[in-house]
Structure formats: C-alpha cells, structure tokens
Amino acid sequence: MTTSTALLTDHYELTMLQAVLASGHADRRCVFETFARRLSGGRRYGVVAGTGRVLEALRHFRFGEAELTFLRERAVVDDRTLGWLADYRFSGDIWGYAEGEVYFPGSPVLVVESTFAEGVLLETLVLSILNHDSAVASAASRMTAAAGDRPCIEMGSRRTHEESAVAAARATYLAGFGSTSNLEAGRRHGIPTAGTAAHSYTLLHDDEREAFANQLSSLGLSTTLLVDTYDVTAAVELAVELAGPELGGVRLDSGDLVSQAHEVRARLDALGAHDTRIVVTSDLDEYAIAALAAAPVDRYGVGTRVVTGSGHPAAGMVYKLVSRENSAGRMEGVAKASQEKTSVGGRKFALRRRSTAGIAQAEIVGIDERPQDDGDDRELLVPLVRAGEVVAPTDVHTAREHHAEARAELPLGALRLSGGDPAIPTRYLNDWS
C-alpha cells in the first residue's frame, strides 16, 4: 500500500508530458471530457459513481521522493520532467455530474479544465475509478429497483480484488443497497455491515442442533440461521424449536429459491414464526431478484454479479481532449477524425430537460455554450474542484441521496430490465461537426 496515488497511472501519460514540456505546448489550456459512448448491455441509464473517490485520490496525487526515484531509475522520463513532477499540484478546475447522478450516452460526466500537462496526468486514475465504481453502481441500481422495498445486502467481496471489494461496497450502497459484508467499507465509508454464519460454522459442530444453539446463545435470537447445510425443512423446524418465534431470520443459499421460499414461509408461519425473515443469497442478479418479486422473501444477499457489474465490469467511459488553446491563444474544439471511435469536440454543458411534472425528458448537451434552462430543467455539471481545491462533498451518503432523487425523476420505463434504448435521448445543441 502506498500513500501517493501518482503511479496509478499509465506510462504514456508521463512520456507525453516529457514530449510537451520539450515542445513548449505543455501549458496550452485544455478541456478533457469523460463520457461513455454507449450504455453497457442496452441498459436504460447509467449511474455516476466514484467521483468522491476521484477527488480524494486527487489530494494524494503527488510525486514524492519514492515515486521520483522509481521514475529516474527506470528512465521513464528525463530530468526536466522529473523536476516538473516534483512540483506537480493540480491547479485547474473540474466540473462533473454530482456523484450518484444518472447518465446517458454522451453525458459529460467529468470535465477537467487545466493545462495539457496538468490534465493529461489524471486520465488513468480518473478512468480507473469511474469505470469501476460506475459499472458496479449501474448494476446495483437495477437490483435495488427490482427489489423494491426489500433490502439488498452486498456480499461479493470474495469475488473481486480486495480493494475493489471496498469500492464495490461503496458503489452498491450509493445505489440503494442497505448494507455490506465488507468490514473495511464499514470503517472507511461508514456503511452498515452485516453477517452471521457460513456453512463451515455448521459443519464445525457435531450436529446442526449444537451449531444453531451456540449461534443463538452467542449472537442472540435476532440472528439469521443458515438452514441449507443438510435438510432445509428439518433445519427450519429445529431453528424455531430452539429460538422460538423471536428468531430473526433464516437464510437459503442454494436450490430453487422461489419454491423453497414458499415452503419455508409456510413452515415458519405454521410454527408461529410470522416475523422471522427469509434471506436468500445464491447467485442473485437483477433478473433473479425480479423473478423472486412474488415469492415471500424479505432480503436479498447479492455477491458475484453486483461486484462484477452484472456482466459489464467496466462502464466504458473514456477521457478525451475535446478543446484546447490554439497557436493564436484561442480555445478550439478538437476530436479524433479517423475510423469508428469518434468524439464530439468542444467544451460541453449539460441540462436534464424535465417536464413541468418533473419527469426527465432529455439530456441536453451544449457545445461551447450553456443550453437555455426552460424553467423545469436541472443543471448537471457542478463544480468539484476550483483552482486545485476540492469544493464538493466526497462522502457516499450524499451521493446515495442524490442517486435516489435522480432515479426517481426518470420516466417509468427507465426501470425496465430488458435491453433497449436509453430512458431519455441525448440531444446535442450547436453540433457543427
């Protein structure tokens, strides 16, 4: 673990820096834009997540002696560049969609205004964080939408890199999950944590009766007993025999969850345990959650599928130079011209067009010009960094509230799980390209 985030960066950002320091163009004013060309898997909306982590990482983006020594010894860049890096502090401005905001193809989710040299260095780190966290949050939001009022618990730490796990817990909480199994996420981000016992706990004991009795005695009657180690029906009866109707919950982690949930609910009710919750946890994703909507399930524990973005582990965001000072000192839109990966040049501004009833209708993107608010619209780009200073909240709790509000504004069709068009169209104003 390192305190500096500066080397979480692609080699070529530094070689480009060396070349522009030599050529004299390092200080040209530039605008770099982060956007996604499309939404993964025909989804109806994406969720911006990671912005707060980008801002925290920016504070630690410093080339200290350890980083400079590595770069010198490996001859990554020349001495002049090392000297420049030693003094590096990002001093530009960053605008962006508030963390938790929904986004669509072409939404300018992060806009960096700085010299080329200062802005180009941030590309890799910005994209790593936004692509990961937004992929997880975009999947998680579909799951919480499918789950309705039933809480979702994130428990995928074991299925992703140990630090991604902490970020994934944060991104799922942002998107409405109620808790996580990840203790570090609890500590670092203040997210509620949850958990009781695994099959290994039951198997350690001589029999299930001993295992359950010990768990109830140590963790209390409100605990959740895992009932599918041996025979589910027998385990449910044993659980209520030992705990009585005060038993907090039972967990099912295998088998056909729909039919089992009905059977277990009927059994619990027959035993008088009407308030005992049923938690299900086996390979869930948004589709499995939707399929359980009519089953008597109280909580969903989601693992692999949410931390890996439910089939789309990276959000597909790119960080592109869209405008720069020309030799006459004037800003000029730029874009790669060849082949299929085109971008729209120019500094972007964005509004969410809303009906008088407050329902989102379109993403309006102005190029080099702010679109006109028609009275019910919402400005999407908010200041995140001014002259190098972070000016926006970086905590997940603010982002969580914002996401709930932004999602609630979408037309109902946005919550469909089937693949299709984005929930609202993106309209560019003044696009002369």
Per CB under 8 A, contacts with a copy of itself among 262-291 are 282
Identify which of residues 67 and 409 has a Cβ nearer to a copy of itself in the complex: 67
Q: Which stretch binds a copy of itself (CB under 8 A): 91-99, 240-248, 249-257, 347-355?
A: 249-257
For residues 332-361, which are near a copy of itself according to CB under 8 A? 334-341
Q: Which is nearer to a copy of itself, 14 or 414 (CB)?
A: 14
- Of the candidates 367, 376, 361, 344, the one whose C-alpha atom is nearest the C-alpha of residue 423 is 361
- Identify residues 72-101 at the interface with a copy of itself (CB under 8 A): 74, 76, 78
Q: Is 169 a binder of a copy of itself (CB under 8 A)? A: no
The C-alpha angle 47, 53, 58, rounded to 5 degrees, equals: 130
Instruction: State both tokens at 185.
Output: 């996420």
| CB closer to a copy of itself out of 161 and 416 | 161
Using CB under 8 A, which of the segments 117-125, 346-354, 390-398, 425-433 binds a copy of itself? 117-125
C-alpha to C-alpha distances, 228 to 33, 198, 199, 296, 300, nearest whole angstrom: 50, 10, 8, 17, 16
Q: Which of 40, 131, 144, 281 binds a copy of itself (CB under 8 A)?
A: 131
Are the C-beta atoms of 283 and 310 separated by less than 8 Å?
A: no
Per DSSP bridges, beta strands 179-180 and 152-154 are parallel
Gap between the Cα atoms of 262 and 181, Å rounded: 26
Q: Which stretch binds a copy of itself (CB under 8 A): 175-183, 290-298, 367-375, 398-406?
A: 175-183
Question: To which residue do tokens 């994130």 refer?
Answer: 154
Question: Should residue 297 be labelled a site residue for a copy of itself when binding is judged by CB under 8 A?
Answer: no
3-state DSSP assignment of residue 420: coil
Q: With CB under 8 A as the contact rule, which of the stretches 100-108, 164-172, 366-374, 418-426 interacts with a copy of itself?
A: 164-172
Using the contact rule CB under 8 A, the part of the chain among 82-90, 252-260, 358-366, 401-409 near a copy of itself is 252-260
Window 315-334: contact mask with a copy of itself (x via CB under 8 A): ----xxx--x-xx------x
Complete DSSP assignment for 321-380: EEEEE-TTS-EEE----SSS-----S-EEEEEEE-TT--EEEEEEEESSPPPP-SS-EE-
419: its two tokens = 């693949």
Cα separation of 121 and 210, whole Å? 58
What DSSP string describes 289-319? Answer: HHHTTTS---EEEE-HHHHTGGG--S--EEE
Residue 210 in the binding site for a copy of itself (CB under 8 A): yes
In the shown chain, the binding pattern of residues 1 to 20 toward a copy of itself, with x for contact by CB under 8 A and - for none, equals: xxx-x-xxxxxxxxxx-xxx
For a copy of itself, give the closer residue by CB, 28 or 427.
28
Rule CB under 8 A: is residue 71 a binding residue for a copy of itself?
yes
- Give the torsion sign (CA, 101, 106, 108, 110): positive
User: Cβ of residue 409: shortest distance to a copy of itself, in angstroms?
Assistant: 29
Using CB under 8 A as the binding rule, whether residue 236 contacts a copy of itself is answered as: no
Which span sits near a copy of itself by CB under 8 A: 91-99, 213-221, 272-280, 363-371? 213-221
Q: How far is the CB of 356 from a copy of itself (least distance, A)?
A: 41
Which residue in the set 84, 242, 262, 304 belongs to the binding site for a copy of itself (CB under 8 A)? 304
User: Which amino acid is located at 356 in the chain?
Assistant: T
Which C-beta is closer to a copy of itself: that of 40 or that of 144?
40
Q: How many residues bind a copy of itself (CB under 8 A)?
A: 108
Work out whether the CA dihedral 279, 281, 170, 285 comes out positive or negative: negative
218 binds a copy of itself (CB under 8 A): yes
> In degrees rounded to 5, what are phi and psi of residue 25?
-100, 5
DSSP assignment of 54-112? HHHHHHT----HHHHHHHHHTT-S-HHHHHHHHT----SEEEEEPTT-EE-TT---EEE
Q: Does 394 bind a copy of itself (CB under 8 A)?
A: no
Contacting range for a copy of itself; rule: CB under 8 A; set: 106-114, 116-124, 270-278, 377-385 = 116-124
Of 62, 105, 205, 262, which one interacts with a copy of itself (CB under 8 A)? 205
